[in-house]
Chain A
């Protein structure tokens, strides 16, 4: 009798303790975000005690390793990032959306069941493998067509980043298109529309919010992509419109500094946090925009 009531007490104690423990575990993800923000902000402030904010934001020269006069204008790194992202989007958006339309409106159930997992394999390949592919295959092939292209350039990593984000656009867009009710499509088909007219005038407009959100998320992924650009884009920060020569992106700069021995406490060491913070803001804005688009403009059926 006594043992039983003791057991009951223990049980009640466990029942009260468990939710608390689980809450602590669940707060780890929040702590991670806070940790990321604090880390970036604190170290970036230290960086700004040595380099002026205006130079950082508006400066067009990024020369951290210069012995005489180091310059920290981030615009060249942003331009490099945007070059790669632009090419990636040019590759991935037409292919990704076309694939999504094919899978949702044309492919039979059997074809879909084969093609979709194969596309998703592309998403599971480590980025280091893509980087190797860009450097050892895509760049030489491009050089075969256009001899002016250097070993390190913005085009080859751009194309490969594009290949990497195709499954993301295809998969998310296809989800949006598949959620357009069958009855609407069947209505259009019954009125005599061809499949293309249904896809172009019914499915795509109805799924537009999902498609746009998928593209914005893909842009965010392309901006944050690190290994492909580290291997294939080079390490020359440049503020110009040239795609054929060596460039440097924000992510590649962080890798370049981390690989070397920038001692703890040097300005170069703090600069990777300032660059990381800029990168974080870019991707965060993109993610928020994607969220907003998919919520605000969703067509409800």
Chain B
């Protein structure tokens, strides 16, 4: 008995090959469509914004007149914001990851914390804004200060940093740990002197990527009431401020055509900042990758 009918196969083979080629093209085309969207987006923003981009744009404050509008307060404000978010979120994130990976027992509380972290990652950023408004701005009376916004953003990116740090800590080889214990080191000494140094490249890479998400987030800032027209630079973390995405949002939502170009110029500045942060992350990853 023949399992394969040669004639039928020959007859149908051409058709099947054609279907294969057609679908291969469709799949490739779909992938390229997504990339095309990326290029069109970049092209649009650069062509609209480049004319307004100058040194003065970086050193001027916001203005009612598009030609004088600058991004100084927003740029400095975003740097201030990161100065609060980076230490807060990294300390909380790495601490949580160390607890979960090194100390936590396999019990219900641990399972609950893990589940909670993955759920927290799915909460919309605008809801974090409501949390910040109620807890930091009102209950703790921090007002719409850098500190209130920084704490809100830190909680927003906390799940990302925890997961990245957990992976980095997990990838430290067990032999290093055993060797350290074998030399008589305590658990905490092992963590501080062996595990953390080995995990730091991974932790930093993940943290920088999380921070670059925080620097582009707008919704929580709007909800906690961060203003836009600011004519001074903040002097401390309790001062009010504005940030790059807030400034871009304000310019984009103005009806005048000229402000669209100012907004595009602002976006270019934001994208350059993001590009720099991502380059640092890639650099760290490549430089320290696979040391074991």
Residues of A within 8 A of B (CB): 11, 14-15, 18-19, 21-23, 25-30, 32-33, 35-36, 39-40, 43, 94-96, 98-99, 101-103, 106, 115, 118-119, 121-122, 124-133, 135-137, 163, 166-167, 170, 192, 194-197, 199-200, 217, 220-221, 223-227, 230-231, 251, 254-255, 258-259, 264, 272-273, 276, 279-280, 283-284, 286-288, 291
A130 and B37 CA atoms in complex are apart in Å by 11
**Given A25-B91, A276-B126, are A127 and B218 also a contact pair (CB < 8 Å)?**
yes
Decide if B119 touches A115 in the complex (CB within 8 Å). Answer: no
Which of chain B's residues have a CB closer than 8 A to the CB of A255? 126, 219, 222-223
With A25-B92, A128-B248, A279-B126 already in contact, the answer to whether A226 and B219 are too (CB < 8 A) is yes
* B117–A29 CB distance below 8 A: yes
Does B40 have its Cβ within 8 Å of any Cβ on chain A?
Answer: yes
Point out the residues of chain A lying under 8 angstroms from B130, CB to CB. Answer: 36, 39-40, 254, 272-273, 276
| A51: min CB distance to chain B, Å | 18
Report whether B131 and A28 are in contact in the complex, using a CB–CB cutoff of 8 Å: no
Verify if B125 is at the interface (C-beta below 8 Å from A): yes
A35-B35 in contact (CB<8A): no
State the majority secondary structure of interface residues on A.
helix
Bound CA–CA A96/B31 (angstroms): 8
B33: chain A residues within 8 A (beta carbon): 95
9-residue interface stretch from B175-183, B195-203, B234-242, B270-278: B270-278
Residue in B118, B225, B274 whose beta carbon sits within 8 Å of that of A126 in the complex:
B274
CA distance A251 to B100 in the complex (A): 34
Q: List 27 A-B contacts (CB under 8 A).
A: A19-B103, A22-B99, A26-B104, A27-B113, A28-B96, A28-B158, A29-B162, A30-B112, A33-B119, A33-B120, A43-B134, A96-B34, A98-B26, A122-B34, A124-B274, A127-B218, A128-B249, A194-B16, A196-B20, A200-B23, A221-B122, A227-B219, A231-B253, A254-B130, A255-B219, A255-B223, A276-B126
Cα A18 to Cα B207 in complex, Å, equals: 23
Which of B53-61, B259-267, B284-292 touches A?
B259-267
Contact A121 B38 (CB under 8 A): yes
Cβ-defined contact, B222 with A258, below 8 A: yes
| B223: A residues at CB distance < 8 A | 254-255, 258, 272
User: Considering the chains assembled together, what is the distance between the CA atoms of A272 and B124 in angstroms?
Assistant: 14
Let me know if B79 is at the binding interface, CB within 8 A: no
Asked if B188 and A15 make an inter-chain contact with CB atoms under 8 angstroms apart, the answer reads: yes
Contact of A133 among B30, B41, B122, B215 (CB under 8 A): B41
Shortest distance from the beta carbon of A73 to any chain B beta carbon, whole Å: 21
B27 touches A133 (CB 8 A): no
Which residue of the partner chain, among B28, B48, B274, contacts A136 with CB atoms under 8 Å? Answer: B48
Say if the beta carbon of B256 comes within 8 Å of chain A.
Answer: no
Residue contact A131 to B252, C-beta cutoff 8 Å: yes
A29-B159 in contact given A15-B188, A128-B216, A279-B127 (Cβ < 8 Å):
yes
Query: What B residues does A197 contact at CB under 8 A?
Result: 16, 20
A22 to B92, CA, bound (A): 9
Nearest-Cβ distance from residue A137 to partner chain B, whole angstroms: 5
Task: Compute how far the CA of A258 lies from the CA of B126 in the bound complex, rounded to whole angstroms.
Answer: 11
Is A163 within 8 A of B37, CB to CB?
A: yes
Top-5 shortest CB links A-B: A224-B124, A126-B216, A25-B95, A98-B30, A102-B27
Whether A98 touches B95, Cβ cut-off 8 Å, given contacts A124-B278, A126-B245, is: no
Binary interface profile of B, 185-208, with partner A (CB < 8 Å = 1, else 0)?
011100000000000000000000
Report chain B residues within 8 Å CB of A11: 186
Chain A residues closer than 8 Å to B1, beta-carbon distance: none
**B212 touches A (CB below 8 Å):** yes
Contact B24 A254 (CB under 8 A): no
Which residue of A is nearest B41, CB measured?
A133
The minimal Cβ–Cβ distance linking B37 to chain A, given in whole angstroms, is 5
Q: Does B129 contact A (CB under 8 A)?
A: yes
Q: How far is the CB of A133 from chain B (nearest CB, A)?
A: 5
Task: Give Cα A196 to B219, complex, Å.
Answer: 43
Partner of B127, one of A36, A96, A128, A132: A36
Do B187 and A15 have beta carbons less than 8 Å apart? Answer: yes
Q: A132-B252, A231-B249, A251-B126 are in contact. Are A32 and B103 (CB under 8 A)?
A: no
**Which residues does chain B contribute within 8 Å of A128, judged by CB atoms?**
216, 218, 245, 248-249, 252, 267
**Does the CB pair B99–A23 fall under 8 Å?**
yes
User: Contact between B116 and A33 (Cβ–Cβ < 8 Å)?
Assistant: yes
B73 adjacent to chain A (CB < 8 Å):
no
B103 proximity list for chain A (CB < 8 A):
19, 22-23
Closest CB in chain A relative to B63 CB, distance in Å:
19
For residue B98, CB closer than 8 A to chain A, the reply is yes
